[in-house]
């Protein structure tokens, strides 16, 4: 064996050994382009060895064609590898163009010895037991060189760009990628000038394999997504389950099978049938997620553990291929959440109790003020309680068809506000307020001031309350309960819908109580007389639309007042 043959044999053996080492450490997350490099390099080196041992021109040309295939496609694959590791995306159309260029150049090499497209002439000879081809290059050989130079320039540009512009790409990996590029291009062009009798490409490709073996070993560490998932799988505390869009079972890891034992009996590529435990859990989660993507979390209890099931799409690159369920032990977190919820419930209960107490104090204060005002007026004893009950009875009837669109809060607030309607009387002089008879005109003018004064007092009392709706209703009741539908009332002379609804309801209750109750200046009217006056006032004093509710409430009003008389 000649020295040159020994050199090619060593290069081929080393290349084959490196490929075997790569196979031993191969991982499914390795870049496919690097795998192709480890396939092409031994083939190219073996072709160099065969060329050195050939005995005929045809055999030598065949080996040379394999060498060019290896060189061209290997430089193309190295370019794609560099782009992938530098995280520079090459679109599919661009990849196709580069592949077609590489293939077109390679096809031209197949004309060796048949036409003058690639070699204008080629001869065979053996020197010291080693075979050589003596060639004169043609146009396509120049194109071949230019293509290789183009791939080299693009690769170096990508490496340099990433080194200076991309902080998320490892500088060590970039430097490692730079070395085989430079050595391969030097071996391809410079080696022939320094050592015309031997090709340096085999040792350059072998060196490139060694470098990419190191890169492959470190590559998964830099791929956080893959290494993170792999670490989670190896920990054995996280479960993974996958289905395609037709709900056919794709697979699951051992942890998932331990959590849901029925998965162990599932057949890959078969839909879920008669597996109640899986239908009620995994399948239900996926269906809920498919109908509403916001429902991507569910919880699963196993013994004393609570697992969080996160449902998402299963991706193949950018394409969705199905569904994936990710199970994690969430026991401590759920216990913490439960603790917080219990604490919040207790806190809410305490706050509600305190709030109820404050509201009760507030209501008692209002009632105390109303009672104090009423105690000054010797003609209206019990008026505030009676009018409050009248309002409640009327509200109960209005709510039955509720053409006014009353809310529950409105109904509660007007009943609570009713006792405040006469608070303004506190500002009326005792001589007028306690007069045992009808008022003179000037006295009545003084008395009418109680409406506006009542609104002012209510405003001051309630200005700091958080219940703004109650504040407004109570103020309106005090201010406008003496307004009339036809505009003849006081203090503002409002008419029709200008009068707030709460004041219109209060007006009926206020007048009805005045009619059927005894005063110092009059006896109580009969229910029939009072009803006649109220009905006559509909459309003039009162809102005509409230008439049917008064009519339906009348039996209850009369029953209420009859009960008071009996007591």
pLDDT tens column, 309-365: 899 988 766 678 889 888 888 877 777 766 777 777 777 777 667 656 655 666 666
Neighbouring CB atoms inside 10 A of 519's CB total: 18
Single pTM value for the model: 0.46
Query: Percentage of the chain surpassing pLDDT 90?
Result: 29
Contact between residue 63 and residue 47 where contact means Cβ atoms under 8 Å apart: yes
Q: Where would I find the beta strands (DSSP E) of 424-534?
A: none
* H helix or E strand, kind and range, residue 314: strand 305-316
pLDDT at 132 over 80: no
pLDDT score, position 228: 47
Residue 162: burial class (beta carbons within 10 Å; 0-12, 13-18, 19+): buried
Q: Directed axis angle between helix 57-85 and helix 139-165, to 10°?
A: 20
Confidence band for 225, pLDDT divided at 50, 70 and 90? very low
pLDDT score, position 450: 85
CA nearest neighbour of 216 among 180, 253, 248:
180
pLDDT at 441 over 50: yes
pLDDT score, position 191: 65
N-to-C CA span, the chain = 133
The structure tokens listed for 543 are 């809102």
193: three-class secondary structure by DSSP: helix
pLDDT score, position 237: 63
The DSSP-derived string for 31-76 is -HHHHHHHHHHHHHHHHHHHHHH--SHHHHHHHHHHHHHHHHHHHH
Contact between residue 308 and residue 328 where contact means Cβ atoms under 8 Å apart: yes
pLDDT at 394 over 60: yes
Domains of the chain plus CATH, in order, are 3-226 (1.20.1070), 236-329 (3.30.450.20), 349-566 (1.10.3210.10)
CA nearest neighbour of 322 among 331, 313, 330:
313
Tokens 């065949």 found at: 62
* Helices and strands (H and E) in the chain: how many: 21, 7
């Amino acid at each position: 064996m000649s020295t040159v043959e020994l050199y090619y044999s060593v290069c081929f053996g080393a290349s084959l050994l490196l490929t075997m080492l790569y196979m031993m450490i191969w991982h499914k997350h390795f870049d496919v382009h690097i795998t192709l490099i480890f396939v092409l390099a031994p083939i190219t080196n073996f072709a160099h060895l065969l060329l050195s041992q050939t005995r005929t021109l045809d055999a030598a040309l065949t080996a040379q064609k394999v060498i060019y295939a290896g060189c061209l496609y290997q430089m193309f694959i190295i370019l794609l590898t560099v782009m992938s590791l530098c995280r520079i995306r090459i679109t599919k159309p661009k990849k196709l163009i580069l592949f077609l260029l590489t293939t077109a150049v390679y096809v031209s090499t197949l004309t060796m010895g048949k036409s003058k497209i690639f070699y204008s002439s080629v001869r065979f000879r053996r020197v010291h037991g080693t075979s050589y081809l003596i060639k004169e290059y043609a146009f396509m050989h120049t194109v071949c060189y230019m293509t290789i130079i183009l791939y080299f320039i693009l690769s170096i540009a990508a490496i340099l760009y990433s080194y200076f512009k991309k902080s998320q790409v490892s500088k060590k990996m970039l430097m490692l990628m730079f070395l085989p590029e430079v050595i391969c291009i030097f071996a391809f062009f410079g080696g022939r000038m320094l050592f015309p009798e031997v090709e340096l490409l085999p040792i350059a490709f072998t060196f490139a394999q060694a470098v990419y073996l190191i890169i492959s070993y470190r590559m998964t560490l830099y791929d956080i997504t893959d290494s993170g998932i792999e670490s989670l799988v190896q920990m054995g505390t996280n479960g993974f389950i996958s289905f395609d869009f037709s709900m056919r079972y794709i697979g699951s890891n051992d942890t998932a099978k331990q959590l849901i034992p029925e998965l162990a009996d599932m057949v890959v590529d078969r839909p879920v049938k008669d597996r109640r435990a899986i239908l009620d859990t995994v399948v239900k989660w996926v269906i809920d997620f498919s109908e509403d993507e916001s429902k991507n979390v569910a919880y699963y209890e196993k013994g004393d553990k609570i697992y969080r099931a996160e449902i998402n799409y299963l991706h193949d690159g950018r394409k969705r291929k199905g569904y994936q369920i990710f199970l994690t032990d969430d026991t401590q977190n759920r216990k913490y959440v439960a603790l917080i919820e219990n604490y919040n419930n207790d806190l809410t209960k305490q706050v509600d109790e305190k709030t109820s107490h404050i509201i009760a104090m507030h209501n008692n204060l209002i009632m105390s003020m109303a009672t104090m005002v009423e105690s000054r007026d010797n003609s209206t004893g019990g008026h505030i309680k009676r009018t409050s009950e009248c309002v409640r009875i009327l509200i109960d009837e209005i709510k039955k068809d509720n053409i006014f669109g009353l809310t529950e809060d409105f109904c509660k607030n007007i009943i609570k506000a009713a006792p405040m309607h006469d608070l303004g009387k506190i500002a009326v002089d005792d001589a007028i307020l306690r007069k045992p008879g009808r008022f003179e005109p000037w006295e009545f003018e003084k008395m009418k001031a109680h409406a506006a004064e009542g609104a002012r007092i209510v405003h001051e009392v309630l200005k700091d309350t958080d219940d703004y709706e109650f504040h407004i209703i109570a103020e309106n009741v005090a201010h406008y309960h003496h307004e009339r539908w036809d505009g003849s009332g006081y203090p503002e002379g409002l008419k029709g819908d200008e009068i707030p609804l709460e004041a219109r309801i209060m007006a009926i209750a206020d007048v009805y109580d005045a009619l059927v109750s005894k005063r110092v200046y009059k006896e109580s009217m009969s229910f029939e007389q009072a009803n006649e006056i109220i009905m006559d006032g509909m459309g003039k004093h009162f809102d005509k639309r409230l008439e049917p509710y008064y009519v339906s409430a009348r039996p209850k009003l009369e029953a209420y007042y009859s009960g008071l008389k009996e007591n």
